[in-house]
Each structure stands twice: as structure tokens, then as C-alpha cells.
Amino acid sequence: YVYLSCWGKCYDTKCPLTTTPLSGSTCSNILKRKTYSLSDNKQLVLVKRHMDTFKVNNIFTCGNENCVPYSKVCNLIDDCGDGTDEVNCTNHFVCNTDTNSRVSISYIPISSVCDGQFDCLDLSDESSCCHRQLINSVSLKSSSWLIGTLSIVFNGIVLIRNTFRMKSVKTSSALSDKVLITLISLGDLLVGLYLFLVACIDAYFGHDFCLKQFEWLVSSHCSALGVVNTVGSQISLFSMTILSITRFYRISRRLSIPGPVKKKSCVMVAFIVSFIVGVSIMLSVIPLMPSFEETFNNALYLP
């Protein structure tokens, strides 16, 4: 890189070599014996001596008086220790990572910038070109707002109405049906709430989601939103399944007359509600528990 860029053989590059004052301690990290020579421009030039012969200078002088060979200049690694061997290079992109209040600098090839993959830990290599959002499609954005809002409103109405009408139920079969339908409305309301909150979060982040997506994915808010969606889905699924089974059972016994609401039937309905809600919450929370983290892979892989 040094030879090609300094000879002007590379398009749109800058020669990384700079004039650095020399002293007796210069290059002491790699050269114990060294010889200085006066160059044509009346500046001291450092040359290497090897087996009683002098070789042309191919040593880069760092800002901290250390020295590295030209082969280690602009190689995406801070070989000098102060970063001066990578300062004037045009073949890389600088990543700034703030770790425990200390800023560490790393380098990636310039070809890795805006390639659709995050190579810097601070995601800065994609910040100027990434337009990814939580919901990318306009139709999905509109659907999330519309379905989420309608689901909350109408299922909320059904939920309130069925709750107040529960006392007027006369038979045990009607009570179980009413309770299961109410649970289905509750589950659908939670799913609608999930869609509505996702749309709100998408509007809040906007185009900044590209830089904050990993922070969001590992946040407790994202986990809580996933729990709400899973609980709602499971409640609706279990309730519809049990409702279908009970109705099939009643159809097979067409001659039986439904009995009145008794304490036993109330206890049975309460048990079914507790079972559905409890299992739904358990299935939603278990993947978030540390002991099951490896099983459900609740983590992010950063290359």
C-alpha cells in the first residue's frame, strides 16, 4: 500500500508517510544499531545496516518514536501503539467503540462499509446507509395500526359486555361457553395490543432503528412485548380448542338437558380458566429464564 499510494499508482489514495523528527531513541523498539544519513532535502534519514551493507529505508517512524516496516502501515492494525501508522490511510474505516468509559479504536476494510452487514461494534459502518426499520413495508405499518386498534376496541367491548352478562347465565354449558368466548376475546385483545405497540415503537424509532436494533432486541421491553403476544396467542388457542371439544361433546349427547349453574360447575370453569391462563404465561416466560437460554437460543451472535 505504501509504495503504490506514494508513487501515485492507486486512484484516490493518500501517501501515509509523514516527516517525523528523528532522535537517538527513535526506532529503539526494532533497531538496536542504526545509522543516520543526511538526505538531499537536508533532513536526517534512517537507514538499516545488515551484514556490513546498508539497505534502503523502508521503516515507518511512528509518532511515539517506535518504528514499523512499511508492510505494517495501513494494514488495519495499530502496530505503532498510537495509531499513527493508520492515520493517513484511505483503505479502511475507523470504528469507535465505547467500552467501560474507554474508547477503543478498530479498523475494517473500506469495502465493508455499507455492505449490509454490521462489522463495527458501534454499528457506525452502516449508520449512513442503513434505512432498515422495525416494520419496513408501508402496508404492514398500516395493517398493524388498523388491526391493532380495531382488535383492542372491539375485543374490549366484547370482554366488558360478557363480563357483565356472566351473572345472567342460567345453565352450566352456557356459563362455560361464555367464559371461553370471553377468554378468546382477551387473547385477541392482547394480540391486538401487541400489534398496536409494535406500530408505536416503529414510529418512535423510525430510521434510527437500524442503529438501535440490537439494543432493542436484547432489551426487557422487547421481551415483555413478546410475552404479551405469546400469552394472547396461547389463550386464544387453548380457549378455542376447549370450546370446540365441549361443543362436540354436547352434540354427541343431543338428548341431555343442560343443568343449572351449580357450585361444582363454577369450580370447574374456574379451574379451566386458571389452567389456560397459567399454561399460557408459563409457555411465554420459560424461554426468558436463564436456565433455558441455551435451549431457546435467546441471544445474539456478533461476529
Structure confidence at residue 235 (pLDDT): 95
Residue ranges with strand state E in 29-111: 35-38, 44-50, 53-55, 59-61, 67-69, 92-99, 102-109
What is the block-wise mean pLDDT of the chain (303 residues), using blocks of 10 residues?
72 70 64 58 53 60 81 86 84 72 72 79 73 83 94 94 85 87 94 95 84 80 92 95 88 68 84 94 87 62 45
Q: How many CA atoms lie within 13 A of 41 on its CB side?
A: 3
- Residue 215's DSSP bridge partners are none
CA distance 92 to 259: 80
Percentages (nearest 5) of helix, strand, coil residues in the chain:
55, 15, 35
8 A C-beta contact, residue 200 and residue 149: no
Structure confidence at residue 61 (pLDDT): 80
Structure confidence at residue 169 (pLDDT): 82
Q: How many CA atoms lie within 13 A of 89 on its CB side?
A: 24
pTM confidence score: 0.62
What cell does 36 get? 543516520
Structure confidence at residue 154 (pLDDT): 95
Structure confidence at residue 33 (pLDDT): 61
Closest CA relative to residue 60, chosen from 41, 87, 42: 87
